[in-house]
Amino acid sequence: MKYRELGGTGEMVPEIGLGTWKYSGGPEPLRKGIELGANLIDTAEMYRTEDAVGVAISGRRDKVFLATKVLSSHLRRDAVLKAADDSLRLLDDDVIDLYQIHSPNPGVPIAETMGAMEELVDRGIVRYIGVSNFSVAQMREAQQAMTKYPIVSNQVLYNLKRRQIERDLIPDCVENNITVIAYTPLADGSLAGKSRFRPDKGGEVLERVAKEVNKTRAQVALNWCLSRPNVIVIPKTNSVERTIENCEASGWYLTPAQVAALDEAYPL
């Protein structure tokens, strides 16, 4: 497993982590991921999988970089503090490595929310602060509201079929040393070949590249995401076998020509 720096923190995280939205695989797929170096596990208050993650990482916490999120409906100061405590109880832990705002809430002053997030860092309950589903303007507003700590990550939708963040968000994150955590990097599963329909033109190119590099479609789709600066991915699977497959998308690189072919096949 290859690692990349989280923001400008000096903290190294795997370029392929483990997502847990709609996760129901039990502890073994997550434990296999940890064993293979995919030790960033991402969950959220909304996912209702924090307790399952807590079970999976029990006895392995020193090997895990733990990320979770606070609901956008819990962004008032007291609600943020309570949500963090509730998450820690479900995770059966005493610190969150990366605490993220799940999505913006224009009904709550951003300064109030970010002040609460910084308070959690001051208390030693949270190590790093991130956001999710924030635009460039929303990231800047959030950062300007903070007085002590940086935003180190923005978790957003990104895959071959959904490339909109390349227009402004990825360049801004590169400029400001913010890690992009790509969720749903295999789209609806179709990029991994899980479709009852014949491949379209993009799928045909994906198949061709996969044969060229002797990898699966899923591995190529994940590796393509990693060809972008500051990007890591967090695919979700309930299967040990798929966890191994996803982790093997790290440690090698598509050629510039292969990346360009995929870019053309799945235009922005």
Domain ranges across the chain = 3-188+224-251
Q: How far is CA 22 from CA 44, 147, 178, 185, 231, in A?
A: 11, 35, 26, 15, 23
Question: Which residues are 12's β-sheet partners?
Answer: 5
Token pair 């064993």 in the structure block, residue: 35
Please, which pLDDT band fits residue 109 given cuts at 50, 70 and 90? very high
Q: CA 71, CA 229: separation in Å to the nearest integer?
A: 28
Question: Which residues are 151's β-sheet partners?
Answer: 129
The domain at 3-188+224-251 falls in which architecture? Alpha-Beta Barrel (3.20)
Helix axes 201-213, 217-226, angle to 10 degrees: 90
Q: CA 9, CA 136: separation in Å to the nearest integer?
A: 20
pLDDT for the residue 195: 58
pLDDT in tens, 157-202: 999 999 999 999 999 999 999 999 999 999 988 898 765 555 577 8
Q: Mean pLDDT lowest for which of 93-107, 155-169, 197-211? A: 197-211
pLDDT for the residue 203: 87
- How large is the average pLDDT for residues 231-242? 97
pLDDT for the residue 202: 86
pLDDT for the residue 201: 75
Examine the pLDDT at 17 and tell me if it is beyond 60.
yes
47 annotated active-site: yes
pLDDT for the residue 214: 97
Q: Give percent of the chain above pLDDT 90.
A: 94
Decide: pTM greater than 0.85: yes
pLDDT for the residue 30: 98
Q: CA 238, CA 131: separation in Å to the nearest integer?
A: 25
Could you say which of 47, 99, 158, 266 is catalytic?
Answer: 47
Q: 188 vs 74, which has greater pLDDT?
A: 74
Give the DSSP H or E segment for 89. helix 77-91
Q: CA 199, CA 100: separation in Å to the nearest integer?
A: 36
Q: What is the mean pLDDT of the chain?
A: 96
* Residues sharing a CB contact under 8 Å with residue 62, sequence separation 6 or more, in sequence order: none
Burial class (CB in 10 A: 0-12, 13-18, 19+), 42: buried
- How large is the average pLDDT for residues 7-16? 97
What's the chain's length in residues?
268
